[in-house]
Amino acid sequence: MRRRRAAVAAGFCASFLLGSVLNVLFAPGSEPPRPGQSPGPSPAPGPGRRGGRGELARQIRARYEEVQRYSRGGPGPGAGRPERRRLMDLAPGGPGLQRPRPPRARPLPDGAPSWPPAPGPGSPGSGPRLGCAALRNVSGAQYVGSGYTKAVYRVRLPGGAAVALKAVDFSGHDLGSCVREFGARRGCYRLAAHKLLKEMVLLERLRHPNVLQLYGYCYQDSEDIPDTLTTITELGAPVEMIQLLQTSWEDRFRICLSLGRLLHHLAHSPLGSVTLLDFRPRQFVLVDGELKVTDLDDARVEETPCASSADCILEFPARNFSLPCSAQGWCEGMNEKRNLYNAYRFFFTYLLPHSAPPSLRPLLDSIVNATGELSWGVDETLAQLERVLHLFRSGQYLQNSTAGHRAEYQRLPDSTILQEDYRCWPSYHHGSCLLSVFNLAEAVDVCESHAQCQAFVVTNQTTWTGRQLVFFKTGWSHVVPDPNKTAYVRASG
């Protein structure tokens, strides 16, 4: 996702940005047209190539039909049965909201579907949705970033919750290139907005702990375009690989396990096997340590059609894979295999093996190698990741690592040791050595393996696997009372 850090940092641009956010995202809500509303009238001639408006209408229609397919269940092998409930509640933003009189807008290209589109039969999930009313008194608007089509902002709702807002980027490449080609700003907005709508539909249909949660949406007037779409989603932190490499193996394994669970869900989703065509770390975020996919506008449900295995070449920069062509004319497992190899080359190969417990490394190496060769599918990959979790959480990986201890440690209950810290890697705290352990025996093993360690402090804090966090110390000359900690000091002699 391209960054505009310099512009955001400048004072003038920050002021301009805040004004743009308020104009683009927080205008009063409007009531979308009801289902069955007819498309707009034929357009007046405008700039662009000959017959360009007809081509623009064709592209809008194609994206509209794609959204409708996904809202019903998606075509192709393994497509889910259509659900009976509406995809989304297209009610007005809330009582008391007055719609401003928008500038005169150009009509949609002839043949394009109405906007906003009528709801499909997908499932919106239970509970109330946030709408335009929730955006009236937001605070702390902050630009996060933008890509080819969308811009993302962080805001705080009146209740204090921070959420992410996504909208079509009016200065983005997607909208700009379309306007240059067709000369129809409103029609080009509709074309780009259908990608945002597709993402909203998929966030609904693919609900899962590792799919970003959709909180709501709002249709609103903005500039010369009525009924622009803003989605309201869960807020996550960007995935920064350099920072992840400096975190504990336990946290890095959690990310890989999250990804394995996500890929298993995508391979067996209600829509069929879903592939992420744009599979890079920037398409994911971290929410409380869990990896979640956030960018789904480039996802695809349909498997690749084929006449023979020559049509089923899965291509990557470093190597290619040949997959079989099924009797039904689909490349077998191409969606699943594409996701799995991308997980290997962007995540597993960097995050899984390094600084892992020695007894787990053979199993982790087999996971990395099997996904790199595509010798396993997502089912086996997830099964092996879950096996690693079981071995790590249960402490079974320690069976061959708890040798006889070279020293005894005296227990000092309800106490801690101030200062006397040293750094180790990877640590949960940059200024000290803070690690997680399964039990007291492992804490002693760690201290014995560090030349500078003379004591350690067991806290009452635990990690996501239930392991205790322990500070390792160079001495114990500053012991003070603390009811939430227990200190262990090396016995003299």
Contacts of 393 (CB under 8 A, 6+ apart): 465, 466, 467
**What distance in Å separates the CA atoms of residue 378 and residue 380, rounded to the nearest whole number?**
6
361 in helix, strand or coil?
A: helix
278 is catalytic: yes
CB–CB of 253/351 below 8 Å? Answer: yes
286 phi and psi angles, rounded to 5 deg:
-110, 130
CA angle 348, 352, 354 (to 5 degrees): 130
**What distance in Å separates the CA atoms of residue 357 and residue 453, rounded to the nearest whole number?**
19
Q: Which helix (H) or strand (E) holds 409?
A: strand 409-412
CB–CB of 187/168 below 8 Å? Answer: no
CA nearest neighbour of 248 among 387, 392, 365, 370:
392
CB–CB of 296/203 below 8 Å? Answer: yes
CB–CB of 473/401 below 8 Å? Answer: no
**DSSP labels for 134-156?**
GGTT-EEEEEEEE-SSEEEEEEE
CB–CB of 304/107 below 8 Å? Answer: no
**DSSP labels for 442-491?**
HHHHHHHHSTT--EEEEEEEE-TTSPEEEEEES--SSEEE-TTEEEEEEP
103-106: Cβ within 8 A, 24+ apart: 103/223, 103/224, 104/224, 105/186, 105/224, 105/225, 105/226, 106/43, 106/44, 106/46, 106/184, 106/185, 106/186, 106/187
Chain center to CA of 404: 45
Catalytic residue among 278, 298, 445, 482: 278
Beta bridge partners of 421: 473
In terms of DSSP bridges, do strands 284-287 and 455-462 run parallel, antiparallel, or are they unpaired?
A: unpaired
Sign of CA dihedral 276, 282, 286, 289: positive
**What distance in Å separates the CA atoms of residue 319 and residue 337, rounded to the nearest whole number?**
13
225 in helix, strand or coil?
A: strand
Distances (CA, A) of 4 to 17, 178, 232, 347: 11, 22, 22, 26
Helices marked H in 299-422 — which ranges? 334-343, 349-351, 361-373, 378-394
Positions marked catalytic: 278
